[in-house]
Amino acid sequence: MITAPPRSYVLLIGITMAVLALSSLIASSHLKKVSAFDEDGYIKFIVSKVNESKTNITESTGATAVPDSAKGPSIPTKGYLVEKLGDSLYSVMDGSYNTMFMVTDKGVVAIDAPPSLGQKYLKAIAEVTNKPVNYVIYSHAHIDHIGAAGIFPKNVTIIAQEETARELQNAKAVAKNVTMVPPVPTITFTKNYNLTIGNQTLKLDYYGSNHLPGNIFIYAPKQKVLMLVDIVFPGWVPFPYLAIAKNVTGFIKAHDIALDKYDFDKFVGGHLTRLGTRNDVAVQKGFIEDLKNAAMKANQEVIFSKVAQQVGHFDNPWFIYSKYIDAVNEKCTQLLLPKWENKLGGAGVFIPTHCFSMSEAERVDPTVQALTQK
């Protein structure tokens, strides 16, 4: 059994979901509507709710209290926080989304354009430079991260992995109003692309599908900063169902790729309350390892025929299967939750969803099965 989370915790999760849902709504609206959206009101509302919930978190006690490691810096009332990550490299965050931009001799390289930031992204950039944005990099095609890319100048160069370009071209092909779709990339690459301007470099690498086909590793070698979106959520368990990973094997392997191939101190994950470090990636790798094992044990110990016998009638196979899934998820959650509920925020709420994604992948995905049964 999972104990009911404290009300403040439910509030925080509710707010987070509302932020994500609202952001998706904004992202899917006409780009002109994005700029016309009452961003001041929206951001102030979100910031006030996040700050309010932080006060409540401090008061939370019990198994599902949010650990200190999940807490981030307060977001100023202007709705965003800019921090220097290293030489000419800056992060921007609003308490729910985060991204980064680089200032070079020839202008600014902006990564992503989350609609939750919208025009605030340009204000954040203007705080540190008066140079124009002339390059944009898309981490991946999801519009809650790039949906506001229409805020940048029309002649901007947009770089993305070719799968991201394909996804956006497909969206344009079916869109009733093409301006709803973020601008299609002007430069695409298959595996690697190095963007070097003056003495600054960003390395873009693709290792195959993980969270989504086209989701890339963005690395600033001089600053030792790695950006990888919607894989690692510093201080928190991932968004539900392994952050809706399209490729569970790719999602699992992304942790090893980050740790084995990149020398980084700071990590930008796209969410949630704070930026991360190398240790945050290692911590989530540990969580995913434990999840793999818990899901495998649950799959082994929960016997389908026994669940079917308990149900007692066989006229609705989906009903039996739902009881089977519930039993596997409950077993997996029992194995995993005690170790992680005080280490990662949201563990008590979202672990059952991660148990479902992993146990289902271990049942049907031959690569995940091979990976977890070695």
Minimal CB distance residue for Zn ion:
142
Q: Which is nearer to Zn ion, 142 or 274 (CB)?
A: 142
Q: Which residues of 289-299 are buried (b: 16+ CB within 10 A; e: fewer)?
A: eebbebbbbbb
Residue 107 or residue 269: which is nearer to Zn ion going by CB?
269
CB of 252 to Zn ion, least distance (A): 17
The residue (of 142 and 331) whose beta carbon lies closer to Zn ion is 142
CB-nearer residue toward Zn ion: 147 or 352: 147
Q: Which amino acid is at 285?
A: K
Of the candidate spans 60-68, 120-128, 230-238, 329-337, the one that interacts with Zn ion by CB under 5 A turns out to be: 230-238
Among the residue ranges 2-10, 224-232, 245-253, 336-344, the one whose residues contact Zn ion (CB under 5 A): 224-232
Q: What is the rounded CA–CA span in Å between residue 11 and residue 4? A: 13
Return the number of the residue (107 or 214) whose C-beta is nearest Zn ion: 214
Nearest to Zn ion of 112, 230 (CB atom): 230
Residues 115-144 that bind Zn ion (CB under 5 A): 142
At closest approach, how far in Å is the CB of 215 from Zn ion?
A: 7
Least distance (Å) between residue 44 CB and Zn ion = 26
Contact between 275 and 266 under an 8 Å Cβ cutoff? The reply is: yes
163 touching Zn ion, by CB under 5 A: no
The per-residue DSSP string of 195-234 comes to EEETTEEEEEE--S-SSSTT--EEEETTTTEEE-TTT--T
Q: How far is CA 176 from the centre of its chain?
A: 28
Residue 230 interacting with Zn ion (CB under 5 A): yes
- DSSP states of 73-95 as a string? PPPPTTS-EEEEEETTEEEEE-S
Burial class (CB in 10 A: 0-12, 13-18, 19+), 357: buried
Please report how close the Cβ of residue 239 comes to Zn ion at its closest, in angstroms.
8
Residue 272: cis peptide before it, omega within 30 degrees of 0: yes
**Least spacing, CB of residue 151 vs Zn ion, in Å:** 19
37: amino acid identity, one letter: F
Cβ count near 102 (within 10 Å): 25
Identity of the residue, 2 or 244, whose beta carbon is nearer to Zn ion in the bound complex: 244
Minimum CB separation of residue 112 from Zn ion in Å reads: 10
| Binding flag, residue 360, Zn ion (CB under 5 A) | no
Amino acid 349 reads V
Q: Please, what is the minimum distance in Å from the beta carbon of residue 57 to Zn ion? A: 25
Binding site for Zn ion (CB under 5 A): 142, 230
